[in-house]
Amino acid sequence: MPELSETFKRLERDPQGGSQYLIERLETFLMPFLLVLDEVLDKRLVRTLLQCLVAIIRLRNNPQALWLSELGSYLDGYDGYSSSAAAGTKRVGKLLRSVKWTVGLIDRSLLSKADEEVKKLKEQGKRILCLWDGSVVEKAESEKLEGLCPVLSSKAKRRQRSKRGLVFNWPAPRPIRVMGMQWSAGLIAGMQGLPHLAVTRWWTTKGVFATKLRDTEEELLRICVRKWGRLLVHVFDRGYASAYWLQILEKYRARFVIRWIKTHLFLTAAGEEKKLWQIGLGKKYLAHKEIRDPLTGEKMPCDLWWTAVRHPSSGEHLYLVKARVKQGVMYLITNDRVQTEAQAWEVFFTYRRRWQIELSFRYAKCELALECPRLWSLEARLKLLGMVMLVYAFLLSLLDPAHQELIKALLRFKCHRTGKRCQEVQAPLYRLRWALSRLWDDYRPRLTCFLPPSDDPLTVYSLIRDVERISQNWG
């Protein structure tokens, strides 16, 4: 049996202090955003927003986690005790319906947090990636909510798959569409470590709020290019493989890696027009390496071949990296120079990091219940979804190496698992939220910022002294 750490022993002796210290981490993480919000909102609404974020972490009933009535029932009163669900629901509704703030404040806060990560990676001289992808938020049973549009249902597609020996379904003739919202996002990441949410948009293709896919994607790209210029390498999947998107990237002079569709036409270095799969056909691969699947740990052979190419609609010099992994072949197009084996491997591993955004979408929809809000107003719904993204960013910040000992102790104390996979995972986000929820349910912390004027001055002074003591013991 492994020896218990000193941090775990301290948490076991003083769980209330550990709970209070973690709520202080949340307040410290959000303080720049809360100060901006305090300039436009009443102090009581700012405190309600902070209490909502705590409630989102605590409430893990996914089908109902973002209902206003459920959040209201988990809201703490000003004196630190539970208030009635009806009063809490009313306070949350006032916060979301307030016209004095918009989801743009949350977007700017997330962008500033991502900027800190970019500066850190730049100081370390590491390659900085911006991972792009799109998803959908399905609201299959909704009809009257603002901002909904038809979206392709990934749930229906997944549930119609046949399972050998168990279930057989005839393939659907056409994809199933349900009501929902489109979702586009970009993450900042290095070649190792955790990603950080940079930009996100929920949008629709129908009604008065209608917009187009490429317009939204170009807007998000423009934000990142104006903020960081050519520091970033933008990584895209096959949904972005088009002549139009190449022209957009060329207009903004962005560095990129795109997984391309093999049947599209390109020009070889000799000027001959061929389909992508025909370029380099029959030629020997130039680099070989055994790589490891980051999810399963399985070792597999990987072979690379590269050459210079051009697209018929673009005058920019491009490079093709052809990668064969487990009998499958992917075609990566980049505008970074690829002439050596090291450069080719860098392009390949850059694209493999794109899987982080898929994990991010899954976590937000499965664990943070992003698809369950029931709000008629689009603006109020976007604010609530933005608050969920703040929670996601905070949970990622707790996995920073600076908090490693505390997080290990927290997981051991409130969400202990003996399985090898659970113990060796690099980013235990699911267990972290579970443990934090149970800790705050059992040992209720008290918010220390934006205290209401009705609080007794002596109580406030005592709270501040306790906070200082806890910070000295746990910091």
Whole-angstrom Cα distance, residue 106 to residue 391? 11
Give the domain range for residue 49.
6-100+399-446
Q: Which pLDDT score, from 0 to 100, does residue 80 have?
A: 44
Single-letter residue type at 65 = A
- Phi-psi domain of 294 (left: phi exceeds 0; alpha: psi -120 through 50; beta: other): alpha
Neighbours of 254 (CB within 10 A): 19
Does 318 fall in a domain? no
Q: Is there a domain that residue 146 lies in?
A: no
**430: in domain:** yes
Strand (E) or helix (H) holding 397: helix 378-398
| C-beta neighbour count of 39 within 10 angstroms | 10
- Residue 103 has a pLDDT of 95
Instruction: Kindly state the tokens that stand for 11.
Output: 């948490």
> Is 36 inside any structural domain?
yes
- Reading the block at residue 446, the tokens are 């008290």
Kindly state whether residue 358 falls inside one of the protein's structural domains.
no
Alpha carbon of residue 446 to chain centroid: 28
pLDDT of residue 219: 96
Q: How far apart are CA 329 and CA 70, in angstroms?
A: 48
Structurally, the chain folds into a number of domains equal to 1
Q: Which residues pair with 300 in a beta bridge?
A: 291
Note whether residue 275 is domain-resident: no
Q: Give this prediction's pTM.
A: 0.91
Measured CA to CA in angstroms, residue 469 lies from 7, 27, 166 at distances of 16, 17, 59
Q: Please check whether residue 135 is in contact with residue 361, taking contact to mean a CB–CB distance below 8 angstroms.
A: yes
The answer to whether the beta carbons of residues 169 and 157 sit under 8 Å apart is: no
For 318-446, list the strands marked E by DSSP. 318-325, 328-334
Domain annotation covers residue 268: no
**308 Rama class: left (phi>0) / alpha (psi -120 to 50) / beta:** beta
Which is nearest to 129 in space by CA: 280, 308, 254, 11? 254
Please indicate, yes or no, if residue 40 is contained in any of the structural domains.
yes
Give the chain's residues under pLDDT 50: 1, 79-82
Q: Is the alpha carbon torsion for 102, 104, 110, 115 positive or negative? A: negative
Quick one: which of 310, 313, 312, 304 has its CA closest to 339?
Answer: 304
